Amino acid sequence: MTTSSTDRKTRPIKVGNLTIGGGGITVQSMAATRTQDLEATLRQIEILESAGADLIRIAVDSKADVVALEKLCKATKVPISVDLQENYRLADAVGPFVQKVRYNPGHLHHHEKDKTAREKAHWIAAVAKKHGMAIRIGCNAGSLAPEYSERFPDDDVTALVEQAKDHCAYMDEVGFTDYLVSIKDSDPRLVIEANERFAAARPDVPLHLGVTEAGMPPDGIIKTRIAFEQLISQGIGDTIRVSLTVPFENKGQEIEVGRQILSDISKGRFRSVPKGFFDGLNIIACPSCSRVENEKFIELAEQVKEATAYAAEHDVTIAIMGCRVNGPGETDDADLGLWCGPTTVNLKKGTETLGSYPYSEVLPALLSELERIIAS
Ligand code: SF4
């Protein structure tokens, strides 16, 4: 099922029986449960399917995840996309089961250090071709490849757009066409600018839109709506994902919110951004996925929101992330960051790590740091 249509016609790509690009916008989401917990993940897939997801993404980080993936795919009707971060080499193993694979150009440098990003991208393209998979080149501001952060130290938008363009060129070099791009950040203003610039440079390439770590409703929905309204009204965007920090049982809300925003845009119903929305306290939180190291993360995010409400008028950004894959990088740009491990939570001030605390003790530590920032 697709919703709404765009004037901008990108190249249509096949993801199983689904077409992305060429008109129409699909709505997708990601399972937040541990991939190897079959019962919980199947329940999560059922919730997303019932909410009307066109595509469901599942994170795979190990061979044991691949074994679980095979079972999950057999029980799923909608096309499945696999999210590979540092473990891009699992692309060949997941190929027989899924219709799409996402790799993050910013995480290719961790392994096979003797190979270039171009060589690795060519290998992923060859594997995708062999298995009939589509590819998403998924770029995030919080995990830029070091080469691009060094070349554009104070300009994340240019770094992201150049990285995405280079990876498209790698696909083009080997004649692989079934790919699309995403460029995400937690700030909708950056998402808008980067996607506008990429779309102008590569009008043929379908775009997956999303505001990552948008956080909890209602702010997470407002941030997403701001980006989608601005981009989709210009014909930019072929598939969307709304990322919300909500309990597992409420994940269907991501699909419902996405369809509501698309429906409003197609009817010309734009919501104005509340005055001063970007002023004051900004809490960003990852939407959680199978990589969450402790489910207390969602509860912690809610507690942080509640306990910091008193500081609403202060221009402070607090980031809360669920795991070590993206947590350390994505918290670098926040004034205060929390990234969650299995039993402890790491507290950061900008790029500096202040300490590691049990879940029950981290909140007071965060609040004293917040007090120090406000006082200064
Ligand atoms: S920070 Fe980790 S847990 Fe949160 S969405 Fe990203 S990968 Fe998943």
- What DSSP letter does each residue of 96-120 carry, written as one string? TT-SEEEE-GGGGGGS-TTS-HHHH
The residues that bridge with 344 in the sheet, in sequence order, are 358
- The count of structural domains within the chain is 2
Q: Are residues 193 and 300 in the same domain?
A: no
Contacts of 119 (CB under 8 A, 6+ apart): none
The CB of 288 under 6 Å from ligand 1? The reply is yes
Q: How many residues make up the chain in this entry?
A: 376
CATH number of the structural domain spanning residue 328: 3.30.413.10
Q: How far is the CA of 270 from the centre of ligand 1 (A)?
A: 30
The CB of 237 under 6 Å from ligand 1? The reply is no
Both structure tokens of 329: 């990088």
pTM of the predicted structure, to 2 decimals:
0.89
Phi and psi of 237, rounded to 5°? 125, 125
Which atom of ligand 1 is closest in space to residue 326's alpha carbon? 1
Q: Are residues 319 and 197 in the same domain?
A: no
**DSSP E strands, 42-178:** 55-59, 80-84, 100-103, 134-140
Among candidate residues 266, 296, 316, the one where a domain is terminated: 266
Per-residue pLDDT of the chain (376 residues), as tens digits, is: 444 444 568 999 999 999 999 999 999 999 999 999 999 999 999 999 999 999 999 999 999 999 999 999 999 999 999 999 889 999 999 999 999 999 999 999 999 999 999 999 999 999 999 999 999 999 999 999 999 999 999 999 999 999 999 999 999 999 999 999 999 999 999 999 999 999 999 999 999 999 999 999 999 999 999 999 999 999 999 999 999 999 999 999 999 999 999 999 998 888 877 677 888 999 999 988 989 999 899 999 999 999 999 999 999 999 999 999 889 988 999 999 999 999 999 999 999 999 999 999 999 999 999 999 999 9
For β-strands 55-59 and 26-30, DSSP reports them as: parallel
Q: How far is the CA of 295 from the centre of ligand 1 (A)?
A: 12
CATH number of the structural domain spanning residue 109: 3.20.20.20
Q: How far is the CA of 243 from the centre of ligand 1 (A)?
A: 11
The CB of 323 under 6 Å from ligand 1? The reply is yes
Residue nearest to atom 5 of ligand 1 (CA): 288
Q: Token match 């449960």: residue?
A: 33
The CB of 292 under 6 Å from ligand 1? The reply is yes
Q: Are residues 188 and 58 in the same domain?
A: yes
Which residues constitute the domain of residue 198? 13-266
User: Torsion angle, CA of 260/265/268/273, rounded to 10 degrees?
Assistant: 90
The CB of 214 under 6 Å from ligand 1? The reply is no
The CB of 326 under 6 Å from ligand 1? The reply is yes
Residue 333 falls inside a structural domain: yes
Cβ count within 10 A of residue 12: 14
Q: Are 232 and 262 in contact (CB under 8 A)?
A: yes
Q: Are 320 and 300 in contact (CB under 8 A)?
A: yes
